[in-house]
Amino acid sequence: MHSREPRQHLASERGQSTVELALLLPVIVLLLFGVLEFGRVFNAWIVVTQASREGARIGATQCATNAACSGNVEAWVNNSLGGLDPANMTWDMTPGPYSAGGTLQVTVDYDVAITTPVISNLVGNTLTVHGATSMRLE
């Protein structure tokens, strides 16, 4: 013995699901964009780490006797950035003694612009990813 008719019961269920969707949709969209931004930053970190590795490899094989090889290292770092903008990148090369067995370190920093407005309010407009590689001079 129900006091409502079946049609009234269905109408109230539709209204409830609309309210639930209205409450949960912003949270779901924020999570989705958060995952996308995390993916962009993680990809930039992988590319920057690889660029520092490539620069250190070239530096380790070509800088054993030549202190003026930073142009080669910079070119390799820029070429290794893939789709990232070289204007947002800074790099540094810290050589040890220029002799076989010395250490060369290449560091690369890249500023990733955060494009989602709500997330940029939480973490800032840019995040800097850092890659560093040390190799022995050959």
Domain boundaries, the chain: 6-136
- pLDDT in the model for residue 48: 96
Spatial distance between the Cα atoms of 20 and 37, rounded to a whole number of angstroms: 26
Q: Which residues pair with 94 in a beta bridge?
A: 105
- State percent of the chain over pLDDT 90: 46
Q: For 91-102, what is each residue's pLDDT tens digit? A: 998 876 667 778
Would the pLDDT of 21 be above 70?
yes
Spatial distance between the Cα atoms of 75 and 39, rounded to a whole number of angstroms: 26
- pLDDT in the model for residue 96: 65
Spatial distance between the Cα atoms of 54 and 81, rounded to a whole number of angstroms: 10
* Helix count and strand count (H, E) for the chain: 3, 3
Q: Enter the tokens of residue 71.
A: 């142009």
Q: What is the DSSP letter of 134?
A: E
- pLDDT in the model for residue 36: 94
Mean pLDDT across 11-30: 85
